[in-house]
Amino acid sequence: MQSAMTKKEIIKELKVTAIENGTVIDHIPSHSVHQVIRILNLTDYGDQLLIGINLESRKMGKKGIIKVSNKYFKPEEINKIALVALSATLIVIRNFDVTEKKQVSVPDQVEKIVKCFNPNCITNHEEMPTRFTVMDKKELKLRCRYCEKITARDNIVFL
Amino acid sequence: MKHKSLISINDFSREEHIRILDLAEAFERQPTQRILEDFVVATLFFEPSTRTRLSFESAASRLGAQLIGFSEPASTSLQKGESLRDTIRTISNYSDIIIMRHPREGSARFASEVASVPVINAGDGANQHPTQTLLDLYSIRKTQGTLDNLSIAFVGDLKYGRTVHSLVMAFCNYNTTFHLISPPDLKLPSSVKIHIKEKSLAYFQYTEMTEVIPKADIIYMTRIQKERFSDPLDYERVRNSYVLRESMLEPAKPTLRILHPLPRVNEIAIDVDENPKAYYFTQALNGVFVRQALLASILGVVE
């Protein structure tokens, strides 16, 4: 009983630990948390960064959460993570208040962050950004603007 | 179409395809017209393709254009490690239009983004070869009088043949019935079949061609390449079962015509050549008229 209470308290603590200013990314699939950190370039982040993995969630069973102090993301930056964490919620905090809350969404175009899986595609041989049109947001099928091949969820590698 | 690049067959609408075919007819009636004397055409062949290059150069020459370019990468700065971006930017300064062939998929689209002049894709790896598709459409319209409601049989390597993929996609706009004949391992990929399904068109798959011959308006033959097979025995088994012989054409419709993007190896027996249904050499000639039409309309000398 005692230990369950403590656990609950810890979870509660984690959920509500207020950051004064910054961004909370909630409802990340636990296994994608590390990828999200990499995609958002937070590996060497200099300010406070709170990371929770396998936290209890009513919605998801288990979830991950990342709280980034003193950092706000542009929509095109944050939507990149939709490729690995479609369920994620973005919460913007200013002066301890939630000023914005929204779902991330798979963008129509994916630029610069995904590698084309076709080894003979020009993007893998020339210094140039990759560009994909998202053909299927649910199944994550990305069609390369250049070689016209489909890079699917299982083949996605981030640059 | 003035100043518009042609990279993928889907870059041009059905109406634009028809416009090019109509223009090509005019060039067939009068192939030599010195309407491009003021233009420089660059043919950049980063991999050799003598047939395609000569067809483009013939088209440009008959219209009086000046030609610059190279026919293999050994003679270019590519050997020195220059990027495609720099090569294309530089040659944009020297020419009014760029025709390029490159072994990498997507290279032509990239070139069209960095070039200051229009680009015509003459083949980018296994991806697209739109002028081949247009000359196939031209040949089919010319022999059948229409592109609508035809039964077209594709035979051979339907998995890797990019000419087949582009032509199937183009014909999805014309209420076509598709007959697909290939070894089981070389069937039309689902990424192409999806276009047929989207338009709810009829398609039938076979491993033998005999029963299809009486039904077809067009038989489009392709070469089965040895390097597509991991087991040489598998190749030996199929190479002789997808050969069209004169004797097989007896039950065919009188209006049937046989097409092949060339080069052929053994998939069409020599005895077919003299049959009036053989059209593949004329098909290659039609390529010149279609390329004349493209050059003239993209350079803006015809409407």
| Per-residue pLDDT tens digits for B203-243 | 999 999 999 999 999 999 999 888 778 888 888 888 888 99
Identify the band that residue B78 occupies on the pLDDT scale cut at 50, 70 and 90. Answer: low
Please answer yes or no on whether A126 and B83 come within 8 Å at the CB atom.
yes
Give mean pLDDT, residues A10-30: 77
Domain residue extents for chain A: 2-103, 109-158
- pLDDT value at A83 more than 80: yes
- Judge contact between B56 and B99, C-beta under 8 A: yes
- pLDDT value at B293 more than 60: yes
- pLDDT value at A14 more than 60: no
The C-alpha torsion from B12 through B14 and B15 to B16, rounded to 10°, is 30
More confident residue, A84 or A3: A84
| CATH 2.30.30.20 assigned to A109-158 | yes
Q: How far is A120 from chain B (nearest CA, A)?
A: 6
Q: Kindly name the residue from B2, B3, B34, B51 that is annotated as catalytic.
A: B51
Q: In the CATH hierarchy, which fold is given to the domain comprising A2-103?
A: Alpha-Beta Plaits (3.30.70)
- pLDDT value at B54 more than 50: yes
Q: Which of B110, B126, B191 sits opposite A122 (nearest CB)?
A: B110
Residues contacting B284, CB < 8 A, separation 6+: B51, B55, B262
- pLDDT value at A1 more than 50: no
Please answer yes or no on whether A147 and B84 come within 8 Å at the CB atom.
no
- pLDDT value at B118 more than 90: yes
- pLDDT value at A153 more than 50: yes
According to CATH, where is 3.40.50.1370 located in chain B? 9-128+287-298, 131-284
- pLDDT value at A15 more than 80: no
- Which contiguous run of DSSP H or E holds residue A27? strand A22-28
Q: Mean pLDDT, chain B, as a whole number?
A: 94
pLDDT confidence of residue B28: 97
Please answer yes or no on whether B83 and A127 come within 8 Å at the CB atom.
yes
Question: Domain spanning B9-128+287-298 has what CATH number?
Answer: 3.40.50.1370
Which DSSP state fits B104? Answer: S
Alpha helices in chain B (DSSP H): 14-29, 50-62, 84-94, 107-114, 130-144, 162-171, 190-198, 232-239, 280-298
Taking contacts as CB-CB distances below 8 angstroms, the residues of chain A near B100 are none
Q: How far is B63 from chain A (nearest CA, A)?
A: 31
Residues of chain A numbered 94-153 and touching chain B (CB < 8 Å): 116, 118, 120-123, 125-128, 144-150
Amino acid code (one letter) for B303: E
| CATH 2.70.70.10 assigned to B131-284 | no
- Judge contact between A119 and A88, C-beta under 8 A: no
- pLDDT value at A3 more than 70: no
- pLDDT, tens digit, for every residue of A111-134? 888 999 999 999 999 999 999 999
